[in-house]
Structure 1
């Protein structure tokens, strides 16, 4: 039985009325299997918040649909369940803040700035920017979700810098170091971010294999930022 089918069987008919019940059921159904719970929680979070972001923006472009499919390589046996979850979330009258609060409670560490929650924010940015323009309502949506997730302003600005840069990418902000920081400090910061963002690290914290486009996007931004600073400071490669 697929994981989402197992989830639906546990939720029963209440799923048709409140997606929040689906989120809460993840906690109990997979309580004895933390690794599986993280994977299901991440999938449910991306489906629910993507649906709510589409509703908040009011326009779902074909590029955004393609981006959703890009990070959500849906197995054939899960396609109907994913579609069902997406439609329930989109139609549910509950505000997305309720979903975000419950999803934050499912985070493996339970701490602010939990790594899995950053993965979710990256996924939302990945979808929102697919049509080459992040609309103001989409940005407000993601910023509010980040606030509910417990991200401080500095951390959120660093995440946003990887995706939103109308005046050009600021490599120092992407890495979270001060402009003109010594290169040794830049390199230490780069190595830590690269280790935390490696696909193996995402898999270890419960991001499903299908979502590794998120890791690739993040690594590309981090690598580009480091290379830019290296060139600016004229440090040999």
Structure 2
């Protein structure tokens, strides 16, 4: 069964409307779409198949909005999406057609990227999975080697819609521009990754690291419904969390040594 078929089998289409429900309806037919119900204030509990379907539908819809943010979808952005489908997700046949259809529909629908992000935040409680969507939006924005003002505006504003800490923009920007944080102002990027400030105690720093590391633990990500093909992205994020913590600890030890000299 395809990822979309699994989600529909889980009954998610009849649970909510909004942009994600409309994206599902556009693919499987108007009769399905007309029966969609609005997301209730109490929220919707999705099983693993449902989470995977919502994740992929929301992801490809938001990737489409980001790719078109500067007015047109570039060849570099198309190639990145193609590589992502073929090499990372390894989608073939019906699965591939479904993902491309979701992407194409979202380019021209009446919803904004923020509409998708807001509903995705309501449906997906796991912060790590929301951070992964944000990381992939960054990848599309930088696909052509430059950050267009319209793309930057989205990347700065959308963390609020995704329910992410505002510091994530500077953390990702630092990573995607290939800077090498180590000391001084660049050390702030590592604090941003851990979502804490330089004035936290060593104990608070360790707690922040453990909290972020737990979010991206492979077993937890799998149990929350992250498709197996996305585990590499979770591992990359886990590495950045570990590097951030180790770099900050090393910097603090150097500062302590200097102050005692």
Normalization by structure 1: what TM-score? 0.75
Q: What is the aligned partner in structure 2 of residue 100 from structure 1? A: 117
Q: What is the aligned partner in structure 1 of residue 28 from structure 2? A: none
Where do 5+ consecutive residues of structure 2 fail to align? 14-18, 26-31, 38-43, 255-261
List per-residue Cα deviations over 1:170-194 (Å, max 9, x = no partner). 2222212322543333222212211
Q: How does 1:1-237 map onto structure 2 within 5 Å? A: 1-5=1-5, 21-23=22-24, 34-68=47-81, 69-70=83-84, 72-77=88-93, 78-108=95-125, 114-151=127-164, 155-157=165-167, 159-165=168-174, 168=181, 169=186, 170-179=189-198, 181-234=200-253
Where do 5+ consecutive residues of structure 1 fail to align? 12-17
Cα deviation for residue 64 of structure 1 reads 3.7
Query: What CA distance in whole angstroms lies between the structure 2 residues aligned with 1:149 and 1:33?
Result: 18
Q: What is the aligned partner in structure 2 of residue 15 from structure 1? A: none
Query: What CA distance in whole angstroms lies between the structure 2 residues aligned with 1:101 and 1:234?
Result: 41
Question: Which fold has the larger relative contact order, with Cα–Cα distance below 8 Å and residues 6 or more apart in sequence?
Answer: 1
- Structure 1 stretches of 4+ with a deviation exceeding 6 A read 6-11, 24-28
- RMSD over equivalenced CA pairs, Å: 3.3
List per-residue Cα deviations over 1:112-166 (Å, max 9, x = no partner). xx44323322221233234443333222223333323344xxx121x22331126
Query: What CA distance in whole angstroms lies between the structure 1 residues aligned with 2:249 and 2:84?
Result: 31
Normalization by structure 2: what TM-score? 0.69
| Rg larger in structure | 2
